Structure 1
Amino acid sequence: MDQLRQIEAFTAVVQHGSFVKAADRLNLSKAVISRLVLELESQLGTRLLNRTTRRLSLTDSGASYFERCKQILDDLAEANAEASATSAKPTGRLRINAPLSFGNLHLAPLWGEFLKLYPEVELDITLNDRMVDLVDEGYDLAVRIGRLQVTSMVSRRLASDRMVLCASPGYLARAEPIRSLQDLAQHSVMAYSYASWGDTWTFETADGVSETVTVKPRFWANSGDTCRAAALADQGIILQPAFLVGEDVRQGHLVPVLPQYQRPPLDIHVVYPSRKHLSGKVRAMVDFLAQAFQQPGWA
């Protein structure tokens, strides 16, 4: 039980960015929060936080430990919520935000089934690739792709996907051969504007060796569909998730480039503001999506 309190204190400090805010969140004093984190570090035999007079930051050990701790607390909260709110009936309007391409391709076919299961729920779906603020903009939950930011949001992993470096056979037939990752710097690239890696693309070999190349895009688009369309029109190389281009690759419309190089997989999560007094409609949707993506169609 003491370690659980320590983990709660440590997680709150990371999520809220300070000992003072964590103390307010947990209704404890700053001194108690500091003591709990110090006890946790002592018990683990490693420093989890770098402390200066101006800011806090996670150590490498702290970053990985935080992810595990957050998952433990999420799982515990979910178990508690299931035990106390199993009778909550799904009803009312449910506002959902999701990425545009993923929403159209892989979520849209699911909404009808959900409405049949829960006839008293109304769905209000917004699709865009902008990182919305769920609380400020009034969303009940969101589907997000990629690494989650450190926030107080609750998350549940739905699936993972791989990134595919590819181009059309027509482009590859007329372009210079691509024999190494560095050759990409001389090729036409269609870049996704919201990609966190920008124009610096890092890959790993099967042996775990990391290699980076800086590409020179011909254009940028805030839509993966636009990048895909440009690639299909023989305009260059794209780096897009398999859920978007997997079928094109299977049909031969796009061809993998340098398949011996891979990027880390993309995790797909459903996130929502809080488990406290979780409504029946949100719980129903979270469970529904988790079930729907047990075996993703792009895998």
Structure 2
Amino acid sequence: MRLPDFEAWAMFAAVVEHRSFTDAARAMSVSKATVSKAITRLEQHLDTSLFSRTSRRLALTESGRRLADHAARIMEEGLAAEEAARDEIAELAGVVRLGAPMSFGLKRVAPILAEFMALHPAIVIDLHLSDERIDLVESGLDATLRIAAMPDSSLRARRLCDVVGHYVASPGYFAKKGRPMHPSDLSNHDCLLYTNLSNPEIWRFARAGGETVAVQPHPRMMSNSGDAMLAPLRAGIGIAFLPDFIIGDDLAAGTLEAVLEEWQGAPIGLHLVTPPSRLRPARVEACLDYLAKALVQ
């Protein structure tokens, strides 16, 4: 039986992570020619192209995209095995690459990571904040946090806690426009829409007893950032649906007020999403455990 070319698989994973033969070679302290030969060797063995190469761009082929996750798992399991053999748990070191939604990352994740880094001065955090759905394999992340209903996939998703949202506006807006008592009343109101959703033009409501309502709100503002809506909300421009971690302080201070509370649907889950492999370097495992415990509290 011919053994897999583990070196070539690992170098393929590194090129996917760094999106460059040169950067992958530098990260592995080998020559670019060594990486190129390994990829060519793997492509010849698999009888398929893994990358589309031009003078300006390096992109995965469809075959490369399908195999990238396998390569990442081979790399992760090899690193985890070596780290376990070296017994580095007592002194964790290296880079942990994490993704998180923009507003949630700034308000909740960054402070937790600051505490973690203070405890582990040899660990470097590479934090990517974006409300776009992040591809773990293509971005080379060890894990990402997602606030969403999780579809079936090859990734591992651990639900950490609920994220509760509210329909809110300023007292001044309600004094001017009145309070909606039923979702259908929103047709007479100005609304601020968060666009980074699969269907942002429709607001769906549900309440005890199973009654559901779908409403097409009248948009006064649209944005892919919930934080960007705070100033217009406080200025009395309209109504928005936003999570607690963005509007919690305003609700407590009374600068925003919630309506239609009996129409709250099921809370959205905060998930910690990781690649399929259960094996992770000790530094990653420690960071994810610390992050999960802090967020569940």
TM-score (norm 1): 0.67
Decide whether the 8 Å contact of 2:159 with 2:270 is kept in 1.
yes
State how far apart, in whole Å, the 1-side matches of 2:105 and 2:233 are.
21
Counterpart contact for 2:203–2:214, Cα < 8 Å: yes
Q: Residues 132-182 of structure 1: CA distance to partner in whole angstroms, max 9, x if unpaired?
A: 111111111111111123211112222111110110001111114422211
Q: Is the 8 A contact 1:142 1:272 kept in 2?
A: yes
Within the candidate set 253, 257, 267, 2:259 is matched to 257
> How far apart in 2 are the matches of 1:141 and 1:177?
42
- Cα distance in 2 for partners of 1:91, 1:112 equals 15
1:91 to partner: Cα distance: 2.1
**Contact 1:88–1:279 (CA<8 Å) still a contact in 2?**
no
Give me the CA root mean square deviation.
2.0
Question: 2:236 maps to which residue?
Answer: 234
- Report the structure number with the largest CA radius of gyration: 2
1:91 to 90, 93, 104: 93
1:228–1:238 contact (8 Å) kept in structure 2 = no
* SS in structure 2 at match of 1:198: coil
Task: Give runs of aligned pairs for residues 118-137 of structure 1, distance below 5 A.
Answer: 118-137=120-139
Is residue 167–residue 234 contact of structure 1 (8 Å, CA) maintained in 2? yes
Other structure's SS at 1:274 match: coil
Corresponding residue of 1:283? 285
SS in 2 for 1:136: helix
TM-score, structure 2 normalization: 0.67
How far does residue 237 in structure 1 lie from its aligned partner after superposition?
Answer: 0.2
Give the aligned partner of residue 8 of structure 1: none
Structure 2: stretches of 5+ with no match in the other structure: 1-79
Structure 1 residue ranges without an equivalent (≥5): 1-80
Give the match for residue 270 of structure 2. Answer: 268
- Counterpart CA distance in 1 for 2:281 and 2:210 is 44
The farther-off stretch of 211-220 and 270-279 is 270-279
Q: Tell me the alpha carbon deviations over residues 167-223 of structure 1, each in whole angstroms, 9 at most, x when there is no partner.
A: 000111111442221111221100001123422111112323212211121121000
Structure-to-structure mapping, 1:98-247, within 5 angstroms:
98-247=100-249
Partner AA of 1:154 in structure 2: R
Q: What amino acid maps onto 1:103 in structure 2?
A: G
Shift of 1:104: 0.7
How many residues in Structure 1 have an aligned counterpart in Structure 2? 213
Q: Matched residue of 2:140: which SS?
A: coil
**What's the % identity of the aligned pairs?**
35
- 1:94/1:282 contact within 8 Å kept: yes
Change over 3 Å in CA distance of 1:88–1:274 after alignment to 2:
farther
